[in-house]
Amino acid sequence: MAKSLKVMILGLLLTVLLLVALTRHVPGFQISSFPVLFNTLMGTGSPVELETITDLLVTPKGFELTLFADNIPNARFLKTTPTGQMLVSLPKTGTVYLLADTNGTGKADEHIPLIGGLNRPHGLDIHHDGETSWLYIAETNAVGRIAIDWSTASTEGDYQRLITNLPNTGGHWTRTIQFGTDGWLYLTVGSSCNVCEEADPRRAAMMRYRPDGSGEQIYATGLRNSVGFDWAPWDNSLYATDNGRDMLGDDFPPCELNRIKAGGFYGWPYINGVGDLDPDLGKNKPAKDKATLLATSISPVFGFRAHNAPLGMSFLNHPDRPDGYRRTALVALHGSWNRNEPDGYRVVALHWDQQGKITSEDFVSGFLRPDNDVTGRPVDIEEGMDGSIFISDDYAGAIYRVRYN
C-alpha cells in the first residue's frame, strides 16, 4: 500500500475517533450521519443507484426531472457555455469538465476534461474580452483563466493565474466567482474556522477585482461562508447565501440569505441571525462594543433552518419560465452533517413579491428519505440556454436536469 494512502486512511480513522469523542463530550456537537460527514470532509459519494435517486426526487407540478450526467465524482459548481454545453468543477480530481449532449437525448454523452492539474477548482465563470472568451476558475488559493474556443471545446494558450495569494489554510476551502454587471469579478472566501477573529481580512468576506486580477477591494465582510451569490434581474441587487456556525445545537443559529451592499458588515463572528450576540465572541464584549456591533451589522433578509447549508443560488432569467417563477431564485440546500435529525437536502425556490417579501417552497425534494437515509446532496444550480435547470450533486456524483412541460 502506498505511503500516501496509508497516511490518508490513518488520518481518516483518527478523524472518526475524534468526532465520536466530540459527540459524546462536547455540548451542541452532533453528527447527522457518518457517510454525509465523509462527503463533507473527503468528497465521498452515495452508494445508491442513480436511477433509484431520480425516481425518489419530487418536483412541483408541471416540472420533470431527469438524469443529465452521471459518473461525475464530487460534482460541484456549474456554468453554461456560449454554445449551450455545461461545465462542471471537480475539486477532488483538480479538473473542469465540459459535458455535451450531442445526440439530443437530454443526457450528456460526452464528458470532456477541459483543463486539469488545478488546486481544488470550484467557482466558474466566462468573460469576453473583445474576440477572446475566457474561462475563469476559482481554485482554493488562486483565480486563473484560460482562453477557450467554444466551437471546438478546446483551450487556446496557457492557463494564467491572475490572483495567486488567496488564504488557503484552515477550513472552508471553496472559492466562488462571478462577474457582475459592473464588469468586476466578485469572489467569496469563507472563514478559516467555526468561529474566531480572523487575522486575514479577506476571510469571511466578499472581494472584487478587475478582469485582469488587479484592483482588489474588500466588498463586504462578516460573511462566515457565502458559497453562492447572484444578482436579482429586476433591480440588480446582489444576494448571497451564508452558512451559520456549528456547535450551538440543532436549531441555532439559522443559515442566511443576505442582500449584499458595498462596505456592508454582516455580523460574523459576533452576531448570528437577526441580532443574536454570539455566546463565544459577542456576549463577552463590553456594552459599548455590543451596541456598536448591533448597530452596524446588517441582518439577513431571509433565514434557512440551522445547518441546512445553503450553497449555490441562481435567479431564473429565461423568458419562458412559468409565471410563478418570474421573481425567483433557486437555492441548493446541501444538508446537515452535524444535526441529530438530518435536515436540508433539497432545492428550494425563493419568491420575491413586489414589496420585497421572500417566501420559500420546495423545488426538488426527496434526497432525504423518511428513514433519514441520505441519497444525494445538491450543490449548485445553473439555468441552461433553453430554460432547463441543472442541479449538481456531489454525493451522488450526478447532474440533474429539470424542465417545465
Q: Dihedral (C-alpha) 257, 369, 79, 155: value to the nearest 10 degrees?
A: 140
pLDDT at residue 393, rounded to an integer: 97
pLDDT at residue 98, rounded to an integer: 98
Non-local CB neighbours of 151 within 8 Å, separated by 6+ positions: 83
How far is it, in rounded angstroms, from Cα 157 to Cα 159? Answer: 7
How far is it, in rounded angstroms, from Cα 253 to Cα 47? Answer: 31
What number is the average pLDDT over the span 284-308?
A: 97
Condensed to tens digits (0 to 9), the pLDDT of residues 235-277 reads 999 999 999 999 999 999 999 999 999 999 999 999 999 999 9
What are the percentages of helix, strand and coil residues in the chain, rounded to 5?
15, 35, 50
Q: What's the start-to-end Cα distance of the chain, in Å? A: 52
Cell of 187: 469572489
Strand stretches in 274-365, DSSP E? 276-277, 302-304, 310-315, 328-333, 346-352, 358-364
What is the residue-averaged pLDDT of the chain? 91
Condensed to tens digits (0 to 9), the pLDDT of residues 73-82 reads 999 999 999 9
How far is it, in rounded angstroms, from Cα 292 to Cα 300? Answer: 18
HSE value, Cβ hemisphere, 13 Å, CA-based, for 206: 30
Under 8 Å between Cβ of 146 and 134: yes
* pLDDT of residue 4 exceeding 60: no
pTM: 0.90
Fold of 31-404: Neuraminidase (2.120.10)
How far is it, in rounded angstroms, from Cα 62 to Cα 196? Answer: 46
C-alpha distances (whole Å) from 297 to each of 179, 203, 239, 277 are 26, 17, 16, 11
Q: Phi/psi of residue 350, each to 5°?
A: -100, 125
Cell of 126: 466566462
Question: Comparing 141-150, 359-368, 369-378, which segment has the lowest mean pLDDT?
Answer: 369-378
Domain boundaries, the chain: 31-404
What number is the average pLDDT over the span 328-357?
A: 96
> Which residue, among 235, 178, 168, has the nearest Cα to 206 in the 3D structure?
178
